Structure formats: structure tokens, C-alpha cells
Amino acid sequence: MNFREHFNNSILFFDGAMGTELQKNGLKKGELPENLNIHSPEIVARVHKSYLDAGCNIITTNTFGANSLKFNNVNEIITKAVKITKNTIKESGKNAFVALDIGPLGKLLKPYGDLEFECAYELYKEQVVAGENAGADLILIETMGDLYEIKAAVLAAKENTNLPVLVSMIFDTNGKLLTGADIKTAIITLEGLGVDGIGMNCGLGPDQMLHLLKEMTKYSSTPLFVQPNAGLPVSINGVTTYNVTPEEFANKQLQILKNGACALGGCCGTNPDHIKAMIDLCKNEEIIKISKKNITAVTSYSKTVIFQDKPIIIGERINPTGKKLLKEALRNNDMDYIYREGVTQVDAGADILDVNVGLPEIDEPTVMQNAVLGLQSILSTPLQIDTSDAVAMGNALRIYNGKAMVNSVNGKEKVMEEVFPLVKKYGGVLVCLTLDENGIPETTEGRINIAKRIIKKAEEYGIEKKDLVFDPLCMTVSTNKDNAKITLECIEKLTNDLGVKTVLGVSNVSFGLPNRELLNSSFFTLAMQKGLSAGIINPKSDAMMNSFYSYCALCGLDENFEQYIANVTDTKTETKSTDVDLKTAVVKGLKAEAHNLTKKELKTKAPIEIIDGILIPALNEVGKGFEENTIFLPSLLMCAETAGVSFDIIKEYIANSGTKTEEKGKILIATVEGDIHDIGKNIVKVLLQNYGFSVIDMGKDVTPEAILEKVLKENIKLVGLSALMTTTVPSMEKTISLLKEKSPDTAVMVGGAVLTEDYAKTIGAHFYGKDAMSSVRIAEKFFAK
Amino acid sequence: MLLKYDLHETARYMGYKHGAKPSEAICKLCEDAYNELCKVITPKYIYKEYEFTRTNDGIIIDGIEFKSEKLLNHLRNSTSVILFGATIGVGADTLVRKYSVTDAAMTSIVHCVGASLVENLCDQACEELKNTIKGEHRPRFSPGYGGLHISSQENFFKLLPMTKQLGVTLSNNYLMTPTKTVTAFIGVTKD
């Protein structure tokens, strides 16, 4: 029997609860159910048999938690569990599929928790390989609450086995996963990964699931299955019970079937009686086949952006082309600079962020992966992976948490052969440039023909048209007066004749001409009018965003003119005058004023005069207040960051004028291995930076070896280590002794909630910082020597 | 459940000493942080009441031992114990991470307002518990305090489905994620 042939052709029935049934049949309290496969297989077989007798045709193995975090004999447990299931089916003389049951690992993946994505992948790989070798017919990944963990499990299953993969999720009553994804986001992401079936189980009863199923059928083209609990749990005398009777359960499951599920089963609180009643009532029903949806959408771990009538803003700023400071940040591995570019663009209205880190002298695959990991840990905005390096693209798509936008493919055979398999495997909406081996055709027809070729070739790889978005490219009008016209015609034809979505990097159009923003924003309006689905623009440009808000307001795409009004008010409030001087602005933490005043000061003063005469005295005044308990942490930080605004302007000024600044000293900081608290460390970083020190931040949970390696490579003389928990101080001690041994010239200052002066001495630290300000004082003294 | 934050407590978390009050500007930022947090938090709590037995230096619940004389003393008049867990979810952590690259002052403010919110969640939940579980309730006693080693979290998680129902997991060093999470023992004295 082939599962894929049966699934979605005839109604299939899963079994019900396993744990409680095992308990009824002899599993002892506190005992791990998976161990029964080894020492009491007859108990497991009894439960399987009861469900076979009820009429089930998918039997799930007793392997929910059988992973190497909990067991050291995963292969044995799974092999035996599959054998028990197969034998019980054989002995019953019935036809049923064996579903290898896989549950969550019980650990959260980074950035929420401490489990690495690839580590989760390896744990799942071990399970699915064992399951396939033992003869399972399909893989059932169930009770999943985190999309990222699902991705690790699905990739493990698809890359290492040929079995069909079903994924079942646990939603709360609001239809959300634990890490925040709603149904739409979950469905779109899972379809991108190419799973065979999508379902929900546990957490809710059939009533709530029926409600959620209706939402699922709006977005899914993939067959759906539903395994509810027997109602919501109620506690009676401290015992959890479920109140839905077998008859009620059966009736509700019939409704679920009629609303679009093609396979049914049960979870907590259901027993063979529930399942039998359900099967008896539903077995002669026809299934309603799920219809094909034509939705172009990208997702993050919690958010979906659908390409509809309203144009989408793709922020273009994370791209080093023509950006001195970003180039410098990339070379120095200053990822925070990139993250800030991300946050400010989202605040300015970006729906999706383009991420391009291509510089010849950096390791693009690694930097791209880090940029994607970092951005998705702070923002829920979907990302557009922008690279021509297939390795970087593959790396980024692998660890991307959601269905990404991918920039780009074009009509060149070689490029299509590289990019299509990646998008097929990981999912994605692909930007297709209408150029090929012969360059960019000068005519509309030429570009449309390339688009048609790309669509056809994508189809061969199993990539649907809805997942392709076309960029007809725009050349500057300064070289050919018709260039803009051709591009606009292309957008119209792509939209109306080919029925595809479009995207455009708008700002090329004005290259070589003055007042570019005016041309760009006007061209953007024209393109939107022709049907442009998404613009890759600078959302921090008022001119571009004003075009966008005006267009939406005029075309009925802005309900109650909310966005338009909000946008217009924004620009008006900008021009307020101030009567403070720069020092006061820094002391009081007034960033906007400090920004303007620094620019003003630079007209008459040398950078060093501003730094030594205004900024440092301001910082010292507030620092002193902090030490004397008249000023407290938030005000100290506001002051430091405002000084940072001034420093950045001065830095940019110096970079443009080509002179070099003197560095005060280089400090490496990190939160030690095992510790994931980094707020304190980040505060120290902000202060040190704004007092003019150059800071290398290695982040949190950093091993002693990694710190040593960086210290030696960068010739670091002062290291700052932070630990918050008593349990992680030993790794701080280990780091210090390793540094003392291998880099004796390097001094270490330590800080963190559990440390004291004495404790710091005991573990061998050179300095103890009782708070953020004292780290500045230590650094000042240290480098003054 | 509508959560509130306590400005006085928040200021204390932020390091304000000797009753010093935050400036108007900082109060405004606390309000902003609160409003932003309200959009991303997902407050939830669970509990389970257990019988327990006493040892010389701790208690045993369902065969699992928790060693702490202070806990034993804390529950000296209790007839049963509620295991309680509450979290405001992963959204607060993401917001803190976001601010950690853009705005250090807001990072610490969001962090502290978040801590005040989870305390408020616990307070409200514990009030509700008094209606469901009759008797006199003792204050919350959390693993990691009062000589009850933080590693006892592992056993605590065996008795209360923190991961499945709240999405809270433990790191190798017994730290909880989401970080704005509380676990506690609450003693109950029945007449």
C-alpha cells in the first residue's frame, strides 16, 4: 500500500491518545512510555490492537519523545516500536499504515532558547532514519508549537528519507502557535517546505478546531487532517479529565470532515470508543478535496505578507553598494549596524527587508547567515535574501525562519539550475529578473519572452507561477529617453497578460540626473498605477513614502486614510526649534536636538574640539551623577546614546574628510558560556563605545576557546566578561584561567548580578565592575597607563 | 487578563535607590514600553495542586524531592502545595532584543516593565487561585531562592507541564525561556 496514493483520495483514520491508554494497560506513573517498546512490547501492542479494532488505518508508533536528549538508545527504541506496530497490524489481518510518531524536542531553538537549529536537525535525523529503516510508511511530526523546530524536523525527514511527511501543530484558542505564528503563516511556511499534509492536534477540542479549520482551508492547497482532544481539559479533584463523549466527538468530527479535513483522529482524552464512534459515523462519507490557492506570500516566524492590490514596500538599505559606513560595518563584522538599518526601515514602513551583504573581501555565506539569524531574532518582518552567491543563498534559506523572498534568478540557464532547486527545497518567493545570457532586452517583448521562459523552466522544477515575482528592470532615462516607458509597459503586460506579480528596484531610473528623489518618487507612482506589486525602495526617504501613501489614499487602498494622515502629521512635527546647546541635549538625552546641533557645531569646530569640549564633559557630568546616586541607569543610557548620535555624525564627517581618528583602546566583551542574559553586557557596551572605546562584542553564551581565539587574533589587552547566574560563574573562571595561560598580557574585568569584589578575586579576575559606569572607569585607567 | 505595571517596582528594578523617582521623560518611556509590550505579550498561567510529605530538610511531591529548609519552613502549616507557573511569552524577549541594537535605555526599560508585568500576572493569577482552591494561601516561593537550588527547576517541570502548556523550556543551566516567566510553590492551609 502506498500512503501518498490513499491520502487525500479516501478518508483515513488515525488512532487516538497513546499515553493514557498505555497507563490503562499497565504503564507505571513516572515511567517513560517509550521504554515500554523494549521491556513490555505487549502493552504497546494491546493499545495498537484496540485502535485497529476500532477501525483505524493509520497507527502511530509509541515514539513521541524518542530523541537523544532523553534517551541514549533512540535507534533501538524506534526500531522496536515500528516492529511492534507492523506486527500488530499483520496479526490483525487488517490494512493500516505505520506512522512514525515524532514529537517536539522539549527545548526551544535559538534565539528563544539555547538549542542550535542544526543540532535539532541532527536529533530529528536520527529518529527519521531509524524509522524508515525499520519500515515505517510515513512520518508524523506532531504537537509542534514552533515553526522553526518544524522546519528542522521537516528538513531532516525530507533530506534523509523518502517517506511522506505530515506535520501537525498545537494552536491555542486564538489560533496561534507558542512562538507566535498564526494559521496563515504556519500554512504558507509549511507549504513552502513541501510537506504532504498539514494538521492540528492536542490543546483544543473539536469545537475550537472546527473554527480553526475554516481558517486553514482559506490558505491551504495541501490536504488537512485534524486530531482534537476530547474537549478542553477540566480539573476534577486535581485530576485532569476530558468531557466530550464518543458520540459527541463523532458528530463533531463529521462536521470537521465536511469542512475540508481528509483524515481524522484523536488526541488527549480520546480512547478507542471515541475513535470507533467517529469511524462508524464517518467512514462512508466522501472527502472534500482541498482546492488550489493562488496566493503569493512570504512569511517570517510570525508574520505573513501577501502580495495583493496594495503595493508592498521592500526596504533596500541593507546593501553595501555605494554605502561607505555599511561597507565598513561589514568589514568589521559590526552586525549591530546592520540590525539597526533593519529596525529603522521597518519603523519607516518597510513590509519586507532586502538583505545583501555582498562585498568581495568578506566571507559572504557566513556573514549572510549571521545577518539573517540576527535580523530574525529582533524583527518579525519577512526578509528578502539578496545574493548572487548560491552557497550564501542556500545557507541563508536553510536557517531562515519562514518562507523568504529570494533575490534573484534570471533567464540564464546556469543561474536557473542553481537557484530553482534551492527554492524548491526551502520554499520562497523568487524575484525573477528579465535578463539572460544576452543581457537586458531593449524591448518589452524581449523581456516578456524571458519571463515566459523562466515560468516554464520553474514549472519543470515544481515551482508554481504564484511563487515567482518578476522584475522587468529599469535602466536610467538619461541614456535612453524611452527606458522608463519600456519598464512601465512590461509591468502592465506581466500583470495583465502573464498574470504574475511584479517587483522593481525603482531608483535606477534617475541615475545621472539631478534631484533624483523627485524622478524616483514620480516613477514609483507611475509604476504602481501600472500594477506594480512591490517596490524595492528606501523607506526612510520621505519623497518615496509620500508617493506610496498618496497612491494608496487615491486608489482606495488606505482605509479611512489612516496611513496617509499618520504620515503627513509625521513630517509636520519635524521642524520644531530648540534653544538648548549640544551639551544640555546630550545630558538630557535629546537625540533629535543632538543630531541637529552636532551638525551645526561641525561647521565651526574641529571634531576633536566637539568631542573633548562638549561630549566627554557631558558624559562625565551624567556619569558622576550616576556614581553619586543622583542619576539612574535609564538616564545614564539615554545620555550615552545621545552622545552616540553625535559621535556617529562626527565619525561620518571624519570618514568623508578622509582623516583618521585616534582610538582610545580596544575591548572585547562577552557573556560567558552557558549564560544567555546579555542585557547588562549590552549596557556596558553602549557606555564603553560612547566613551570612545572600540568594542568587539562576541554576544552571549560564548565559549572560553572562542574568546581566546579572538583575543589572540585581534591582540586584545582588556576583556570584559559578564555572568548573571551562579551556575555560569565557573565558565567565567575557566575563561580567565585560559586567558592567563595563553595570553598573559590580557587583563579581564568581570561583572554581573552574582559577582562581588571578593568573588571576582577568587576566580582570578583583574578588575571587578560593580555597575556599567565602573567598567568605563576601569577601561580609562587601564588604557591611561 | 489586563496586566498593569507598577512604576515604583519598575524604578526599583532599574536601579533607582532611596525612593528616588524617575524623571517625567523616563516615566513617559515606561508608558511607551508598556504600550508596546501590551501588543506582543501572551500572558498565561497554569497550576496543579499536590499533596506533599516532609523530610528533614525539604519536601517530597509525588516521589520527587525538593531540598530546602526554607521551603520546608515556608510550608510548615500547609496541608497541600500548588505548583504554579506563569509567563508573558516570547514577545517580550523579542522586543528586548530589538531594542538592544537600537536603544539601550529602552532595552532596560522594556526589560524592567516586562518584569513588573509578569509579577502583576502572578499576583492576579494567585488572586484567582484563591477562588478555585479554598484555604489560606502562602506567598509564592520560587526555585532558585531560599536555598532551593535552581537545578530543582528540572523536577518542577516534571510535575507541571510548563513546556507543553506554556511553551516554557529550560536551558542546560536551568534558565527559563521565555525569560519573563515565574515558577513557584504556593502552600495551602485547609481548615
Query: Which residues in A272-294 are b (16+ Cβ under 10 Å) and which e?
Result: bbbbbbbbebbeeeebeebeebe
What is the gyration radius of the CA atoms in chain A, in angstroms? 30
Phi and psi at A508, nearest 5°, equal -60, -30
> Could you say which DSSP state residue A510 is in?
G
Please list every residue in chain A whose beta carbon sits closer than 8 Å to the beta carbon of residue B15.
632-633, 771
Least Cα separation, residue A339 to chain B (angstroms): 7
Residue A324: band (very low, low, confident or very high) from pLDDT cuts 50, 70, 90: confident
Average pLDDT, chain B: 93
pLDDT of residue A772: 79
pLDDT of residue A10: 92
Chain-chain contact of A340 with B175 (C-beta, under 8 angstroms): no
Q: How far apart are CA A227 and CA A404, in angstroms?
A: 30
Chain-chain contact of B105 with A637 (C-beta, under 8 angstroms): yes
CA distances from A586 to A592, A611, A681 (A): 10, 12, 22
On the question of pLDDT at A57 being above 60, the answer is: yes
Cell of A702: 560564548
Beta-bridge partner residues of A176: A182
Q: Residue A759's closest CA among A736, A782, A783?
A: A736
A38 and B CB contact within 8 Å: no
* Contact predicate A236/A197, CB 8 Å: no
CA atoms lying within 13 Å on the CB side of residue B10: 27
Q: Which residues contact A382 (CB under 8 A, 6 or more apart)?
A: A298, A299, A300, A303, A304, A305, A351, A352, A353, A402, A403, A404, A405
Tell me the percentage of chain B whose pLDDT exceeds 70. Answer: 100
Least Cα separation, residue B86 to chain A (angstroms): 14
Q: How far apart are CA B156 and CA A66, in angstroms?
A: 21
Q: How far apart are CA A239 and CA B39, in angstroms?
A: 35
> Could you say which DSSP state residue A676 is in?
-
Q: How far apart are CA A77 and CA A72, in angstroms?
A: 9
pLDDT of residue A574: 47
* Contact predicate A582/A614, CB 8 Å: yes
Please list every residue in chain A whose beta carbon sits closer than 8 Å to the beta carbon of residue B24.
none
Facing residue for A111 by CB, picked from B16, B97, B171: B97
Please list every residue in chain A whose beta carbon sits closer than 8 Å to the beta carbon of residue B97.
111, 377-378
Facing residue for A640 by CB, picked from B104, B164, B167: B104
- Element containing residue A762 per DSSP (H, E): helix A757-762
B140 and A CB contact within 8 Å: no
Average pLDDT, chain A: 93
Q: What is the pLDDT of residues B22-66, one digit of tens each?
A: 999 899 999 999 999 999 999 999 999 999 999 999 999 999 999
Chain-chain contact of B167 with A179 (C-beta, under 8 angstroms): yes
Cell of A449: 519572452
Query: What chain A residue is nearest to B157 in terms of C-alpha separation?
Result: A106
pLDDT of residue A575: 46
Residues 114-173 of A with CB under 8 A from B: 114, 143, 145-146, 170, 172
Least Cα separation, residue B26 to chain A (angstroms): 7
Query: What chain A residue is nearest to B170 in terms of C-alpha separation?
Result: A107
Least Cα separation, residue A82 to chain B (angstroms): 25
Facing residue for A108 by CB, picked from B25, B96, B169: B169
Chain-chain contact of B163 with A379 (C-beta, under 8 angstroms): no
Least Cα separation, residue B7 to chain A (angstroms): 14
Least Cα separation, residue B73 to chain A (angstroms): 24
Residues 720-739 of A with CB under 8 A from B: 725-728
pLDDT of residue A570: 56
On the question of pLDDT at A51 being above 80, the answer is: yes
Higher pLDDT, A457 or A680: A457
> Could you say which DSSP state residue A764 is in?
T
Least Cα separation, residue B56 to chain A (angstroms): 24
On the question of pLDDT at A569 being above 60, the answer is: no
**DSSP helix/strand/coil, A115:** strand
Cell of A408: 534573484
Q: Which residues contact B66 (CB under 8 A, 6 or more apart)?
A: B58, B59, B60, B148, B152, B155, B156, B185
pLDDT of residue A690: 81
Torsional sign, CA A291, A296, A297, A298: positive
Q: Residue B109's closest CA among B41, B2, B25, B182?
A: B25
Indicate the Cα dihedral angle A219, A221, A222, A228, nearest 10°: 40
Q: Which residue has the cell 497490524?
A: A89
Q: How far apart are CA A156 and CA A139, in angstroms?
A: 11
pLDDT of residue A237: 62
B48 and A CB contact within 8 Å: yes
Least Cα separation, residue A637 to chain B (angstroms): 5
Facing residue for A674 by CB, picked from B109, B151, B172: B172
Residues 11-30 of A with CB under 8 A from B: 29-30
Least Cα separation, residue A657 to chain B (angstroms): 27
B2 and A CB contact within 8 Å: no
Cell of A165: 511527511
Q: How far apart are CA A629 and CA B109, in angstroms?
A: 18
pLDDT of residue B117: 97
Average pLDDT for B172-182: 91
Least Cα separation, residue B186 to chain A (angstroms): 15
Tell me the percentage of chain A whose pLDDT exceeds 70. Answer: 97
Chain-chain contact of B100 with A378 (C-beta, under 8 angstroms): yes
CA distances from B187 to A63, A126, A303 (A): 37, 43, 42
Poorest-confidence range of A140-144, A191-195, A606-610? Answer: A606-610
Please list every residue in chain A whose beta carbon sits closer than 8 Å to the beta carbon of residue B174.
727
Chain-chain contact of B101 with A340 (C-beta, under 8 angstroms): yes
Cell of A232: 478542553
Contacts 24+ apart (CB under 8 A), A768-772: A769/A684, A769/A720, A771/A626, A771/B15, A772/A633, A772/A636, A772/A680, A772/A683, A772/A684, A772/A687
**DSSP helix/strand/coil, A484:** helix
pLDDT of residue A676: 73
pLDDT of residue A652: 81
Please list every residue in chain A whose beta carbon sits closer than 8 Å to the beta carbon of residue B131.
none
Least Cα separation, residue B105 to chain A (angstroms): 5
Average pLDDT for B2-16: 92
Pick from A28, A378, A700 the residue to mutate for testing the B interface (most B CBs within 10 Å). Answer: A378
Within A135-289, residue ranges assigned H as helices are 147-160, 183-193, 206-219, 246-258, 272-282
Angle (deg, nearest 10), helices A772-784 and A633-657: 40
Pick from B44, B97, B159 the residue to mutate for testing the A interface (most A CBs within 10 Å). Answer: B97
What is the gyration radius of the CA atoms in chain B, in angstroms? 18
Contacts 24+ apart (CB under 8 A), B152-160: B152/B66, B152/B67, B152/B68, B153/B183, B155/B64, B155/B65, B155/B66, B156/B66, B156/B83, B156/B183, B158/B64, B159/B48, B159/B50, B159/B61, B159/B62, B159/B64, B159/B83, B160/B46, B160/B47, B160/B48, B160/B83, B160/B84, B160/B85
Angle (deg, nearest 10), helices A41-54 and A74-92: 40
Facing residue for A683 by CB, picked from B20, B104, B174: B104
Q: What is the pLDDT of residues B129-171, one digit of tens each?
A: 999 999 999 999 999 888 899 999 999 999 999 998 898 999 8
Chain-chain contact of A114 with B177 (C-beta, under 8 angstroms): yes
Please list every residue in chain B whose beta carbon sits closer than 8 Å to the beta carbon of residue A728.
173
Beta-carbon count within 10 A of B27 CB: 14
Query: What chain A residue is nearest to B94 in terms of C-alpha separation?
Result: A378
On the question of pLDDT at A76 being above 70, the answer is: yes
Average pLDDT for A300-312: 96
Q: What is the pLDDT of residues A615-660, one digit of tens each?
A: 988 988 998 888 888 888 888 888 988 998 898 888 888 877 766 6
CA atoms lying within 13 Å on the CB side of residue A400: 33
Q: What is the pLDDT of residues A486-534, one digit of tens each?
A: 999 999 999 999 999 999 999 999 999 999 999 999 999 999 999 999 9
pLDDT of residue A240: 76
Chain-chain contact of B104 with A637 (C-beta, under 8 angstroms): yes
B164 and A CB contact within 8 Å: yes
Torsional sign, CA A459, A463, A468, A474: negative
Q: Residue A228's closest CA among A280, A191, A263?
A: A263
B39 and A CB contact within 8 Å: no
Q: How far apart are CA A672 and CA A692, in angstroms?
A: 24
Cell of A275: 475513535
pLDDT of residue B102: 86
Average pLDDT for A228-240: 79
Pick from A171, A679, A689, A700 the residue to mutate for testing the B interface (most B CBs within 10 Å). Answer: A679
Please list every residue in chain B whose beta carbon sits closer than 8 Å to the beta carbon of residue A377.
94, 97
